[in-house]
């Protein structure tokens, strides 16, 4: 496999540090490796594959050197400014922020779901929102078979989804300290508020789920609604997903379809109290699905409980899988 020069931008953050772990685990063929962040952490060091790397400050000149792939996780405004600079230098950017996701010129990719979209990139590829990624892995095989008509998402999202600051709010909140990141205490609480509120009364996180689902499944008319909730859990997002189909289905066959779907682990044995749990999904790359049951209130519908590590499959692992696809096609 061809060796590439690879940079991680935002390497000191929650997602960035996980990038380093996942890149090590999956042994990507890397020639030269660069870690970048803001001036705040420039000069500090990070260990990768047993070697120390000095964090460089991200500047307009960071991509003057030959870099084949850059994994960005440094926020929307950083991506807005620096992804086009990297792309203009011939570097393929895989971006974790929401900046480019709905740009019609930018593919939005979950490798198990729409790897074919990678082909039309113009040097920027967007990684979907964490809560969207895990839902897509569950929805795609069912859409292929039974054609989805409508989806209702209700999420239970971990504080790590709000970066290091979100994590600290829960850690400190459990000791009685006031929140700094969230508008209300997250300890012993549930906040029906992720990202900013929009004019239609939804939060931006909710509309990300709606719009990204349609883009990834290539169906602008799919009816989708969402309520996204921050819960006092450190790692892994849990989601209740209610799906209505165009076609009828056999429940056993639907369960087998999910069991055989790429990236899925089925935990669907309620009799034994076996169902996906945030604490068990944490640290893993798969999407865990259970509580599969017919929605008896509609003609053809099903309910799922879907859990995944939001920093791994919801961010770093998904982006690294995209990088693997790109490297495969570089031969």
91 noted as active-site residue: no
Q: Which of 89, 121, 130, 190 is catalytic?
A: 130
Sign of CA dihedral 72, 77, 108, 122: negative
Residue 58 within binding range of ligand NAP, rule CB under 6 A: yes
237 noted as active-site residue: yes
**Number of residues that this document lists for the chain:** 331
Cα–Cα distance, 78 to 8 (Å, whole number): 13
Residue 84 within binding range of ligand NAP, rule CB under 6 A: no
Query: Which of these segments, 8-16, 135-143, 239-247, 295-303, binds ligand NAP (CB under 6 A)?
Result: 8-16
Q: Which two tokens stand for residue 17?
A: 């540090």
Q: Which two tokens stand for residue 261?
A: 């779907």
Residue 110 within binding range of ligand NAP, rule CB under 6 A: no
Query: Which of these segments, 12-20, 170-178, 225-233, 283-291, binds ligand NAP (CB under 6 A)?
Result: 12-20
Please check if 312 is assigned to a binding site: no
Contact 193, 161 (CB under 8 A): no
Nearer to ligand NAP, 80 or 116 (CB): 80
Please check if 160 is assigned to a binding site: yes
Contact 186, 194 (CB under 8 A): no
Q: How many angstroms from the chain centroid is the CA of residue 299? A: 32
Q: Which two tokens stand for residue 39?
A: 């001036």
Binding residues with ligand NAP: total (CB under 6 A)? 28
Q: Which of 193, 218, 237, 284 is catalytic?
A: 237
Residue 86 within binding range of ligand NAP, rule CB under 6 A: no
Q: Which residues of 191-202 are buried (b: 16+ CB within 10 A; e: fewer)?
A: bebbbeeeeeeb
Residue 164 within binding range of ligand NAP, rule CB under 6 A: yes
Residue 163 within binding range of ligand NAP, rule CB under 6 A: yes
Within 298-327, which residues bind ligand NAP (CB under 6 A)?
310-311, 314-315
Of 160, 236, 267, 268, which lies in the binding site for ligand NAP, with binding defined by CB under 6 A?
Answer: 160
Sign of CA dihedral 106, 108, 112, 116: negative
In the three-class reduction of DSSP (H, G, I as helix; E, B as strand; rest coil), residue 60 is classed as: coil
Interface positions with ligand NAP (CB under 6 A): 10-16, 37-38, 40-41, 58, 73-76, 78, 96-97, 130, 160-161, 163-164, 310-311, 314-315
Catalytic residue ranges: 130, 237
């Amino acid at each position: 496999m061809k060796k590439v020069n690879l940079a991680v931008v935002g390497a000191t953050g929650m997602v960035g540090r996980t990038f380093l772990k996942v890149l090590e685990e999956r042994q990507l063929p890397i020639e030269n490796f660069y870690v970048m962040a803001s001036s705040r952490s420039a000069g500090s060091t990070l260990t990768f594959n047993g070697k120390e790397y000095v964090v460089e400050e991200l500047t307009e000149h960071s991509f003057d050197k030959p870099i084949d792939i850059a994994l960005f996780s440094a926020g929307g405004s950083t991506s807005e400014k620096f992804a086009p600079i990297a792309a203009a230098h011939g570097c393929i950017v895989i971006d974790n922020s929401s900046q480019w996701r709905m740009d019609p010129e930018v593919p939005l990719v979950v490798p198990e779901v729409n790897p074919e979209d990678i082909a039309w990139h113009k040097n920027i590829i967007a990684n979907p929102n964490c809560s969207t990624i895990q839902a897509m892995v569950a929805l795609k095989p069912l859409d292929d078979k039974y054609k989805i008509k409508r989806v209702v998402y209700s999420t239970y999202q971990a504080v790590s989804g709000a970066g290091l600051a979100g994590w600290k709010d829960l850690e400190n909140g459990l000791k009685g300290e006031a929140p700094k990141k969230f508008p209300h205490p997250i300890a012993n609480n549930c906040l029906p508020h992720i990202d900013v509120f929009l004019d239609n009364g939804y939060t931006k996180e909710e509309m990300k789920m709606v719009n990204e689902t349609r883009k990834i499944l290539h169906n602008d008319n799919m009816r989708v609604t969402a309520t996204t909730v921050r819960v006092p859990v450190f790692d892994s997002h849990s989601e209740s997903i209610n799906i209505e189909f165009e076609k009828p289905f056999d429940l056993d066959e639907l369960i087998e379809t999910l069991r055989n779907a790429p990236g899925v682990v089925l935990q669907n044995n309620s009799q034994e109290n076996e169902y996906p749990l945030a604490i068990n999904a944490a640290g893993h790359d798969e999407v865990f699905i259970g509580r599969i049951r017919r929605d008896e209130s509609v003609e053809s519908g099903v309910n799922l409980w879907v859990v995944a590590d939001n920093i791994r499959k919801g961010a770093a692992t998904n982006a690294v899988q995209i990088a693997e696809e790109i490297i495969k096609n570089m031969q």
